[in-house]
A and B are shown apart, each in its own frame.
Chain A
Amino acid sequence: MSTELKININEEKEKAQKLIEKQGRRIHVCASTGCVANGALELIEEFKKLGADAQALTNEVKMSVIPTGCIGFCEQGCLVVIPDKKLTYVHVKKEDVKEIYDSLLNDTVVERLLYVDPALNKKIVNNEEMNFYAKQTRTAMKNCGIINPESLDEALSVGAYSALSKVLEINDPEYVIKEIEESGLRGRGGGGFATGKKWRSVYQHRGGKSYVICNGDEGDPGAFMDRSVMEDDPHKLLEGMAIAAFAVGADEAYIYVRAEYPLAIKRLRKAIADAEARGFLGNNIMGSNFNLKINIREGAGAFVCGESSALIASIEGERGMPRPKNIHMAECGLFKRPTLLNNVETFANVPLIILNGAKWFASMGTDTSKGTKTFALTGEVNNTGLIEVPMNTTLRQIVFDLGGGIRNGKKFKAVQIGGPSGGCLTQEHLDMPMDYDQLTKVGAMVGSGGLVVMNEDTCIVEVARFFMNFTKNESCGKCVPCREGTKNMLAILEKIVRGEGEMEDLDRLEELAQVVKQGSLCGLGKSAPNPVLSTLKYFRDEYIAHIKDKKCPAGVCTALKKYRIKEELCKGCTKCARNCPVGAISGNVKEAHKIDTSKCIKCGACKENCPFKAIVVE
């Protein structure tokens, strides 16, 4: 059964490594979307001007600047990493380049650009001591930020296409599917369906034309791990897809990427072309009988197109609306053919599972959730960015170790996980592992992996309103519960936030949430009420405070804010009255002033300008 391939992957890898060696000392500059926005491309030019140019490397210098993919620590960009010295420089500006360059020549360290650990209040000289990195286990994102994503040689030097080569040599789909089944890998797009099981059911319908689709329509607000894989290690995704296509018997694949990811599209296009030119994709891959054509389809930015049936409709050229799923996609999917659909991160896990074996992968995580998961850590933590951790990592470890705790010494309140389809986790869940089943049990979900950390200043009702507004806008408009239900749920939340809520509104909100959850056609609608339901479950008091006491405990909801002058502190300086744009403040000089709340527009000008801190918000 095994086949001898015409391309020897080990030789290719060695050749590539030799090319890398010639580059001398590598200076990694993160050239991903976030850092580019902060001016990373200028840094690279500056390094090149100084002589760190791989193309024109002089013997005396022996340094090359490498534009890498995302290192994950976006909060601290631009980032410059010197891998052989284990140094990371943060917030680097164009002006700092010369100093870094010189320090490398003199073998010194630019102290002022080092990262300061907020918990230890200590400058970190060695990467490995950075909690943000040290506590991560990178599988899907292993090469992200380490290689130049636009170079096939760089990818080959770290082992790209070795797993595909192994699979093609063994030449047995059953072997691949078994490995994936035994690894315990589950879909990383949100649902958490067993990947091996999915592959097997598509495999069972092989014979005619089959398709593999990669869902790269990452749309959760704040989530960008799939973008990172596509931008920073495109060959890993292509390799994972090729292995999947081989396993299920497909010869054509699509990557559905949202058009808002132009860099990902550009890099994927280049990667496909490069891989085809070198025989890693296309016809007779590496000299085997296996052919695979990978196409890219750009989505127009509809959130719902991340839903499998809507995504398929979109690829087929129809309006991106979900379809009823009576027949499984494994039998009748894209163009009515058997289709395997997985998300970017799922495919990115595949090559290492094949290379290191199912056991290695299954050794990480919990009983039912194996391996690692990427998360986009955002919100009120010190370290925001992209992380990848084993699935048994607890929320506490993520927030307090990797995330470096809550910003400005504030108190932790909750985490919104899984974006607009997910739910919130609170203090009581801090020691829970990020495991599919446990999260589902408490009304949340892994989702694609968005983690928004909230502190005591966050209004939970406002958070629910924010996500509801998102799903209301992103509903495709097809089924009634989602289209009309989300609109009316939002209307109720807006009413509560405006301070006009009544207690019956809570009942109505919950009833409607059930209708939307149970009655909707697709996953978007079925999960749209989750943020409301889980916040109602854990923070009902806060809703009630908005309704009964007409107060926003976090002091966020403008309509519920009340400005008051503390008589005992007011000196009657009249400054507040003079600054009030609507003339709502009255009082005689040197006497305590008063705010007419019926006139007050809650702009806060009085509070900002009071020299005696006599004005408070209630």
Chain B
Amino acid sequence: MTDKKTLFINDTEVEFTDEKTVLEVAKKAGIEIPTFCYRPDLTQFGACRMCVVEVEGRGIQASCTMPPRAGIKIYTNNNKVRKIRKAILELLLAHHDRECTTCSKSGSCELQKYSMEYGITDIPYVKMKQEEFSPIDASSPSIVRDMNKCILCGACVRACSEFQGIGVLGFSERGSLTKVQPMAGKPLKDVNCVNCGQCVSVCPTGALTIKSDIDNVYDLLNDKEVKTIVQIAPSVRVALGEMFNLPSGENTIKKIYSACRKLGFDLIFDTNFSADLTIMEEASEFVERLTKGENLPIFTSCCPAWVRYMELNHPDMLNHLSSAKSPQGMLSPIAKEIAPKFYEGFNKENIKVISIMPCTAKKYEAKRDELKGETDYVLTTYEFAKMIKQQGIDFNNIDEQEADSPFGQYSGGGTIFGASGGVAEAALRTAYNIVTGKNLENLDVMPLRGVDKASRSKEAAVDINGQTVKIRVVSTLAEAERAIKEVKEGKADFQMLEVMACPGGCINGGGQPSACKDLKTKENRAQGLYKEDRELKIRNCHENPDIIRLYSEFLEKPGSHKAHELLHTTYSNKSQKIKV
């Protein structure tokens, strides 16, 4: 039984149990305290001081780091507190590029939001001058860094080192000269950034933003010579609605299809279809490796940030990575090579493939030498939502439509790709079938589910024809590194390792609307996907009739020569020595 204790917030008695901070207690009591640097998934930092409250007898305290204690009296919004918050906003704005109208974060910027809420109308301090501005770093294929908008909350620094264990971002200088920068002040493209975009996801302002491909896509849509094919990744469907005030986790895929048509895409495919295809290839590869006892454990390869991490840091272990392309990587060549056989006027030369992804690293993946010319542009969920708004599409009231056959139908196995553990679960369902000829009795592999912090590393063991197959699922590269260490030290007892770089998987990708302030958002999105899996008639990838047809008519069988040509890729040592 948990201890029930109470404290007082603004003279109202509030109960608390295991909350770690006063901020959490207040939130539970329905009082939102403003924060910039507080991110429940990251370590406490206590830097922005926006969350200050007055504690009777102890003066001003930061509520994001103060543990609750029975009986204390807290004032969250008295004049003293309000004045400090206002001063903090004014001080931050004085040292900020306040060209809000041209900022891509405008509308979802927390600094802008609080400035409005606190009625900041004048900045009585020395304002940053144009000549003090630092140049914008747009060197990365995925992320744009504009340090003139950085408020030094340190969320990106923590995300990069705590989630990914990479730490390409760090503080340099001190005092008012302090800044966040990649190692040795290098452009982002020249350091070991894996483009996961978690830094963007946790950034409260426009300092870190997604590199936009919106204009490039408009150019294609307006080019009469070009035929556009769009594909939508699994987790986009359960997050996009949030940009239109729909609850997180609500599956809006049929509205998305409709919006795509309104935007002018010629054909609408679903990445879930190619997720099914990925499983066909990957599960077969897994079974083959299991039989031969080669290159085990197999590492999944759908996460481009993880693939880049391996190429940068563990080039000696690339043989473990599945050679199967990611779902995005598979659908694009299919769209260019096979789709023209189904649609008149489409040919390899005039087709351009645009994918809508929850992920900033997918932009990098599309530009990989090994995959060049296949996916033309990648839009993140965030960019896609912007396009819908720009085109005046009333997303909430749009009609529901279907994707284009035969590249739009998918199984439940494909849809759960979006949550950490989903790929492994789908692969297990199909691998079991390949080996035994039967389907798993219970398709829900519960130990592999869960997207909270405690579920960043999970395992399941399944008996397949008398052989126990153990699967490890990790999200975040810091967790992946621990698993790799086990493999290197010969201590790993698992045969498959699923890795997603973003905590919780793609539902929390760097291209999604930010879910960093509320842990429930991730949970809801994952539940949205598992709900669809439950409700779909076909839950196994290998039972998708369009997949079966694709093999019988074009690809023969998983792992065939033709399949290898279109659906598999190679990796190479990309480790670099960074010169300081």
* Interface residue ranges, A against B (CB under 8 Å): 302, 304, 319, 321, 323-324, 326, 472-481, 483-488, 491, 508, 511-512, 515, 518-521
B window 59-111: CB within 8 A of A: 59-60, 62, 65-67, 80, 83-84, 87-88, 91-92, 94-95
Which of B88, B95, B177 contacts A519 (CB under 8 A)?
Answer: B88
Most buried by B among A323, A472, A484, A508: A484
- Given known contacts A319-B171, A484-B92, A511-B87, what 9 new A-B pairs fall within 8 Å (CB)? A302-B174, A475-B176, A476-B174, A478-B178, A481-B88, A484-B125, A518-B60, A519-B49, A519-B84
A478 to B37 Cα, complex, angstroms: 11
The answer on a CB contact under 8 Å between B125 and A477 is: no
Which of A302, A485, A518 contacts B91 (CB under 8 A)?
Answer: A485
A508-B124, A515-B83, A521-B47 known; A477-B173 Cβ under 8 A: yes
Shortest Cβ gap from B65 to chain A (Å)? 4
Measured between beta carbons, the chain A residues less than 8 angstroms from B507 are none
Which of B62, B67, B83, B171 contacts A521 (CB under 8 A)?
Answer: B62
Measured between beta carbons, the chain A residues less than 8 angstroms from B46 are 323-324, 479, 521
A302 to B173 Cα, complex, angstroms: 11
Shortest Cβ gap from B202 to chain A (Å)? 17
Shortest Cβ gap from A615 to chain B (Å)? 36
A381 to B151 Cα, complex, angstroms: 45
A326 to B68 Cα, complex, angstroms: 10
A480 to B175 Cα, complex, angstroms: 10
Which of B44, B84, B154 contacts A478 (CB under 8 A)?
Answer: B154
**Contact of B45 with A by CB under 8 A:** yes
Q: Which 3 A-B pairs have the closest CB atoms?
A: A477-B178, A324-B65, A484-B91
Measured between beta carbons, the chain B residues less than 8 angstroms from A484 are 91-92, 94-95, 125, 176
Measured between beta carbons, the chain B residues less than 8 angstroms from A323 are 46
The answer on a CB contact under 8 Å between A487 and B176 is: yes
Q: List 25 A-B contacts (CB under 8 A).
A: A302-B174, A304-B174, A324-B44, A324-B46, A324-B62, A472-B175, A475-B174, A477-B152, A477-B171, A478-B47, A480-B47, A480-B92, A481-B87, A481-B88, A481-B91, A484-B91, A484-B94, A485-B87, A486-B176, A487-B175, A487-B176, A491-B126, A508-B124, A511-B83, A512-B87
The answer on a CB contact under 8 Å between B176 and A480 is: no
The answer on a CB contact under 8 Å between A472 and B44 is: no
Shortest Cβ gap from A406 to chain B (Å)? 34
Most buried by B among A473, A477, A508, A511: A477
A478 to B67 Cα, complex, angstroms: 21
Chain A interface, DSSP helix/strand/loop, else mixed: helix
Most buried by A among B151, B152, B173, B174: B174
Measured between beta carbons, the chain A residues less than 8 angstroms from B84 are 481, 515, 518-519
Q: Which residue of B lies closest to A304 (CB)?
A: B174
Measured between beta carbons, the chain B residues less than 8 angstroms from A304 are 174
Interface string of B417-439 (1 = CB under 8 A from A): 00000000000000000000000
The answer on a CB contact under 8 Å between A480 and B59 is: no
The answer on a CB contact under 8 Å between A488 and B175 is: no
Shortest Cβ gap from B172 to chain A (Å)? 9
Measured between beta carbons, the chain A residues less than 8 angstroms from B91 are 480-481, 484-485, 488
The answer on a CB contact under 8 Å between A519 and B52 is: yes
Q: Which residue of B lies closest to A325 (CB)?
A: B65
A521 to B153 Cα, complex, angstroms: 13
**Contact of B48 with A by CB under 8 A:** yes
Interface string of B37-55 (1 = CB under 8 A from A): 0000000111111101000
Q: Which residue of B lies closest to A483 (CB)?
A: B176
A508 to B91 Cα, complex, angstroms: 12
Measured between beta carbons, the chain A residues less than 8 angstroms from B187 are none
Measured between beta carbons, the chain A residues less than 8 angstroms from B59 are 518
Measured between beta carbons, the chain A residues less than 8 angstroms from B52 are 518-519
Measured between beta carbons, the chain A residues less than 8 angstroms from B67 are 326
The answer on a CB contact under 8 Å between A475 and B125 is: no
The answer on a CB contact under 8 Å between A477 and B170 is: no
Measured between beta carbons, the chain B residues less than 8 angstroms from A487 are 95, 126, 175-176
A483-B152, A515-B84 known; A477-B175 Cβ under 8 A: yes
Measured between beta carbons, the chain A residues less than 8 angstroms from B49 are 479-481, 519-521
The answer on a CB contact under 8 Å between A477 and B174 is: yes
Measured between beta carbons, the chain B residues less than 8 angstroms from A473 are 174-175
Measured between beta carbons, the chain B residues less than 8 angstroms from A476 are 174-175, 178
Interface string of B450-466 (1 = CB under 8 A from A): 00000000000000000
Measured between beta carbons, the chain B residues less than 8 angstroms from A326 are 44, 65-67
A520 to B88 Cα, complex, angstroms: 11
Measured between beta carbons, the chain A residues less than 8 angstroms from B83 are 511, 515
